[in-house]
Structure 1
């Protein structure tokens, strides 16, 4: 949804920076790993201390690496590689889970019922890409869904950021929305796989 609509415009904006990064010797995989390390350290340090706004700023900055590495791979002489695609996909799962886990830590410590929504979000966040990967192994296109990774990341970072600015119920609203959208997306993808297998 958001990602497919904005991707062409964003790509045009970041392509000059991606070319510069390639000229100074950086590789797409290096950017992937550096961005992931930044997200992991930022989430692990700021969110458990409930420093939500500053943490969100840092995480958002490092999460931009996900835009650059793909563009760098596309315009590089060697082009995109299967290893790079696998690494990027795996890193995405790690960083997305780390963000949710870091949010869960203070909620669990406070015995906050919102932690249950966080757990649902964590599980659906892993299931959504898994179902797509499994579907593609059956030669079924399964890129459908009301909330793909970009949408989920924007929702959680926006909610946590506003929570850091003391906006009432921002985190609760974000977790409820993510949990609902995650479950709906999982169901949508399961239906696509089921229909695809029945029609084979």
Structure 2
């Protein structure tokens, strides 16, 4: 939803920077890995210490690599590759899960009931792309849903960032929204796959 609206405009803005990165010898896969290491290190260091705001700033910075690597692959002489697409998708699952787990660590340590919502968001965050990939293996387009990756990332980082600014209930509200939208999106995608298989 968000990505389909904003991505074309953002891509036009970052193309010059992506072109410069290619000229100095960086590859899309290198940018993917740099961003992943940055996100993992930031989430793993700041969130368990409950340094939510500064941690979110670092994660947002490194998460920008997800915009650059795809643009770099598209405008490079080699073009996008299957390996690059697979690597990017796999790294997305790792970094998304790491962010959620890093948020869960202090919640579980404090025996906070919000940790249950965090577990729901962790599971749905893995199921949503899995269902899409499985559907596409059947030849079914399954990009539907209220909470695709961009939406989930925006919600969680906004909630955690505001929590770091001591906004009351920011993290609780964010986790409730993520859990509810995640479950709805899983159900939506399961329905699409069911309908596609029954009518094929």
TM-score normalised to the size of structure 2? 1.00
CA displacement at 1:21 relative to structure 2: 0.1
Partner of 1:162: 162
Partner of 1:6: 6
Partner of 1:41: 41
Q: Secondary structure at the match of 2:167?
A: coil
Encode CA deviations 1:48-76: one digit per residue, 9 max, x unaligned: 00000000000000000000000000000
Partner of 2:146: 146
Q: For 2:146 and 2:125, how far apart are their aligned partners in 1? A: 13
Q: For 1:165 and 1:57, how far apart are their aligned partners in 2? A: 12
RMSD of aligned Cα (Å): 0.2
Partner of 1:75: 75
Q: For 2:105 and 2:186, how far apart are their aligned partners in 1? A: 25
Q: For 1:99 and 1:8, how far apart are their aligned partners in 2? A: 26
Encode CA deviations 1:150-192: one digit per residue, 9 max, x unaligned: 0000000000000000000000000000000000000000000
| Structure 1 gap ranges (5+) | none
Q: For 1:55 and 1:13, how far apart are their aligned partners in 2? A: 26
CA displacement at 1:82 relative to structure 2: 0.1
Q: Secondary structure at the match of 1:41?
A: helix
Encode CA deviations 1:22-79: one digit per residue, 9 max, x unaligned: 0000000000000000000000000000000000000000000000000000000000
What is the correspondence of 1:41-120 to structure 2 with a 5 Å cutoff? Answer: 41-120=41-120
Encode CA deviations 1:92-147: one digit per residue, 9 max, x unaligned: 00000000000000000000000000000000000000000000000000000011
Q: Does 1:178 align with 2:178?
A: yes
Q: For 2:114 and 2:69, how far apart are their aligned partners in 1? A: 34
Q: Secondary structure at the match of 1:140?
A: coil
| Structure 2 gap ranges (5+) | none
Q: Secondary structure at the match of 2:80?
A: coil
Q: For 2:151 and 2:61, how far apart are their aligned partners in 1? A: 17
